[in-house]
A = this chain, B = another copy of it.
Amino acid sequence: MKFDFSSRVPQTKDDVVGEILKVAGDPKIISFAGGLPAPELFPVKELKKAAARVFKRNGRDALQYTGSIGNPELRKMIAKHMNKNKHINPDIENICVTTGSEQTIDLTAKMLIDRGDVVLVEKPTYLCALDVFKSYGAKVVGVEMDEDGMKMDDLEEKLKQHPNTKLIYTIPNFQNPTGRTMTEDRRRSLADLAAKYHVMVLEDDPYGEIRFSGTPVPPVKYYDKDGYVIYMNTFSKILAPGMRLGWVIADKDFIKTFVVMKQSADLHSDNLSQYIVAEYMKKNDLDAHVKTISDEYGKRASLMLKEIDEQFPEGVRHSNPEGGMFVWVEIPGNVNTMDLFYKCVEHNVAFVPGEPFYPDEVVPGTFRLNYSNMKDDQIHEGIKRMADAISEMMNK
């Protein structure tokens, strides 16, 4: 049957990313394609105990409906966590629990964007965010970036060019897909520019705590005096993604409206999981757990970079992430990385080509590698296979 869908539904039948992940899911393929945390590091035992305590003490409450803004205990734990790790001090009225980061992006876009409004994003950026912005009719415009993150001169230029800009979307820490981190100076400038041009900023910080080298930088929200910055984070990378829990921190009036929109989206996030995570945070040291994850990812990142440096052909460049889950690679000579992808699949190794991460013009020869979900021997062997495929492509 042919359905008469709304204009919000993507017209294209091709789900490029879906196809890539499907191919990459083949068990004989070493996949650097996904963005999955390492499941062997999930604190399964501790969460099991937390769940048992919740069922015993709060079973009926945890299984009943709750408020759209989220469980008060969990919001208290989040406030504490933000204070300790990010130097910002939200009241619990500044915090709404969300059904993961994707929902935070979706509801923020739904709240702010009318058809034709402009959203400014890093070039390249998180591909699912691009889909969401487009689904609300946004014109998405890319802002140049370098190893120090989004370039502030180009941002101001774009703000002048597009007076109907409603939102600046940024991932300042260990950005997806590049692994780059925005400097402190640029963060301060970003907060200032947002206030100067009266444009909201959505600061997406899923990887910020997974730092394995360098010095932490305060979030953009830290420099926000007037409430232009909406800060968002998630338990997906620091605890476990299966429970789909994230949070958003913003001006209380913004949160009030956000809660109304969330009510229409899913009433509230899973209450049982909210209880379990709050209980886990009370009885366990989440920061120590994050340190364990970061150390392991740091080792995997070092190994991957070393293997790239040793095995990839001359002229290949890569980012040097100080945390997070991704390395961004650039190959010289206008290589089409979709073709490279299929070549790599022949060699039983996969990655995500750069193309879907670009909001407008695509920079050829770029792609993203994930190191968090592959063990040492897989990283070694996978990079070797990729090196062979790249050599074949470059010498064609």
Q: Which of A166, A251, A261 has the most chain B CB within a 10 Å cutoff?
A: A261
Contact B260 A15 (CB under 8 A): yes
CA distance A30 to B218 in the complex (A): 49
CA distance A167 to B73 in the complex (A): 40
Contact status of A4 and B166, CB under 8 A, knowing A10-B260, A55-B51, A266-B102: yes
Contact B48 A52 (CB under 8 A): yes
A254 within 8 A of B: yes
Contact status of A44 and B48, CB under 8 A, knowing A63-B240, A260-B15: no
Contact B241 A63 (CB under 8 A): yes
Contact status of A5 and B260, CB under 8 A, knowing A59-B44, A63-B242, A270-B243: no
Which residue of B has the minimal Cβ distance to A239? B63
CA distance A60 to B266 in the complex (A): 26
Contact status of A48 and B59, CB under 8 A, knowing A131-B264, A254-B3: yes
Contact A242 B66 (CB under 8 A): yes
Chain B residues, CB < 8 A from A66: 242
A188 within 8 A of B: no
Contact B269 A64 (CB under 8 A): no
CB distance from A195 to the nearest CB of B (A): 11
Contact B3 A241 (CB under 8 A): no
Which residue of B has the minimal Cβ distance to A107? B265
**A48-69 Cβ-contact flags toward B at 8 Å (1 or 0):** 1001100110011111111000
A36 within 8 A of B: yes
Question: Total interface residues on A, using CB and 8 Å?
Answer: 76
CA distance A3 to B261 in the complex (A): 15
Q: Name the interface residues of A313-348: CB closer than 8 Å to any CB of B.
A: none
CB distance from A267 to the nearest CB of B (A): 5
Contact B39 A5 (CB under 8 A): no
Contact A42 B55 (CB under 8 A): no
Chain B residues, CB < 8 A from A243: 63, 270-272
CB distance from A202 to the nearest CB of B (A): 13
Of the residues B114, B240, B253, B264, contact of A1 by C-beta under 8 Å: B253
Contact status of A1 and B244, CB under 8 A, knowing A65-B36, A114-B7: no
Q: Name the interface residues of A1-32: CB closer than 8 Å to any CB of B.
A: 1-10, 15
Chain B residues, CB < 8 A from A362: none
CA distance A88 to B111 in the complex (A): 38
Chain B residues, CB < 8 A from A269: 244
Contact status of A128 and B36, CB under 8 A, knowing A51-B51, A59-B48, A242-B272: no
**A114-125 Cβ-contact flags toward B at 8 Å (1 or 0):** 100100000000
Contact B5 A257 (CB under 8 A): yes
Which residue of B has the minimal Cβ distance to A198? B4
Binding site for B on A (CB under 8 A): 1-10, 15, 36-37, 39-40, 42, 44, 47-48, 51-52, 55-56, 59-66, 99-100, 102-103, 106, 110-114, 117, 128, 131-132, 135-136, 166, 198, 200, 226-227, 236, 240-244, 251, 253-254, 257, 260-261, 263-273, 276
- Can you list 18 A-B pairs, Cβ within 8 angstroms, ordered by A? A1-B226, A3-B253, A4-B166, A6-B111, A8-B110, A10-B260, A36-B64, A48-B52, A63-B242, A103-B265, A103-B266, A106-B264, A242-B270, A243-B271, A243-B272, A270-B270, A270-B272, A272-B272
